[in-house]
Amino acid sequence: MFLKSGGKHSTKQHTQQSHTRTSSRALWTRHDENRNFYRHKKQEKYLIHTHSFNTSTVRGDKIVADEFNVLDFLMNAFYQGFLFRGMSVKEEHDKINQAVHGLAGSKPLIVYKEGSREIDVGATRQVAKQHRKGDVSGISTSMKLGVGISFANYLPKKTHAVYVLDRNNIPSSQQVTQDYEDDIAVTDSTGEAQNYGYERELTVSGVHLSAIPMRITREGLKFNVECNPFYVDRMVLPKELNKEYDDLLNTFYDVIYDVRRNNVDFSVVTSPDQNKLDQFKAKEKEFYKKYIKTVDLDPHQKQAIKTVLGVASLAIEELEKQDEIMKPKGM
């Protein structure tokens, strides 16, 4: 399914002046009072191409629905529990990320108490501090779309993307909110102290592909939004399948806990344990088999899932038949 929507973006800047009304008017013409003063005006439009399936949803809302506005969603995503992650192609194609079907940090973010799976909160906060100083653990995400896009702007054309991440699909135990009120000294190349509090960073251990509803790429004022066929909208899952999904996520985070990369060139130091990885993939395949049978999905979304997970594909005739069934009325 290919959708095309346009969004108009305009900004108004309000500047408070300490001058008198006369001097203020010398700087600004107040176009709302004197509309004929300016001889020219122009509008700039953002163009958004959204690629989705007939049944693609976020928080239970269908993306193809007329009332769903992608730009509004992206601008207000944080308030619904979504995050953003600027990505490079190198990171997208990373062998470990490909193997675990997600994003794995270069080393563990969460510290457990010795001999148990109980989280050591104090030690975990110290790891998060070191992460901000460049000793990277876990995955950095932002609660602001602009931060992800700004990161992507520094990368070569066509080699960057912004992932939208669903916090509902990341266990709270694997999320650490950065504390910018502490006394950690972070400086730039000139030695100047830096405060990155505006980024509103949330650091996570990793992200399974089922927690990524969208991938955004940008060329100037044109955005491409691609919906992920593997994204799991928990709002449409029945209770029992939600429990199985929690179990799948726990297995995923157990697998990526063993991952280690070099912090300089990000070369692999330690790969995931193969036995754990095999067990995880078997559990993942079983979950998606039930997901396909239980949730009303577009046949092409089913096909995408089955192809990647190595399950038998749908026949062409079956795809065409289901296409007719899924086609929105009135088209």
Residues 55 and 158 in one domain: yes
Q: Are 231 and 213 in contact (CB under 8 A)?
A: yes
pLDDT category at 158 given cuts 50, 70, 90 is: low
Tell me the average pLDDT across 199-218. Answer: 87
- Domain extent for 319: 296-326
Residues 172 and 313 in one domain: no
DSSP string, 282-323: HHHHHHHHHHHHHS---HHHHHHHHHHHTPPPPPHHHHHHHH
- What does the pLDDT look like over 29-74, one tens digit per residue? 666 666 677 777 788 777 889 999 999 999 999 999 999 999 899 9
CB atoms within 10 A of CB 262: 11
Tell me the average pLDDT across 272-281. Answer: 93
Is 139 a residue whose pLDDT tops 60? yes
pLDDT category at 127 given cuts 50, 70, 90 is: low
The C-alpha atoms of residue 185 and residue 183 are separated, in whole angstroms, by 6
Residues 192 and 77 in one domain: yes
Tell me the average pLDDT across 183-205. Answer: 56
Question: Is residue 247 in a domain?
Answer: yes
SS (H, E, C) 149-175: HHHHHCCCCCCEEEEEEEHHHCCHHHE
CB atoms within 10 A of CB 139: 26
Q: What is the pLDDT of residue 154?
A: 47
DSSP 271: P
The model carries a pTM of 0.73
pLDDT category at 331 given cuts 50, 70, 90 is: very low
DSSP 237: S
Question: Is residue 143 in a domain?
Answer: yes
Degrees to nearest 5, angle at CA 249 with 270 and 229? 100
Residues 237 and 321 in one domain: no
Pick from 119, 124, 96, 91: which is nearest to 109 by CA?
Answer: 124
Residues 112 and 67 in one domain: yes
Tell me the average pLDDT across 70-84. Answer: 90
**Token pair for 254:** 């157990």
89-98, 124-133, 142-151, 186-195: which range is least confident on average? 186-195
Please count the structural domains in the chain.
2
Q: What is the pLDDT of residue 255?
A: 94
- What does the pLDDT look like over 231-271, one tens digit per residue? 999 999 999 999 999 999 999 999 998 887 776 667 778 88
pLDDT category at 83 given cuts 50, 70, 90 is: very high
Is 7 a residue whose pLDDT tops 90? no
Does residue 95 sit in helix, strand or coil?
Answer: helix
Residues 146 and 182 in one domain: yes
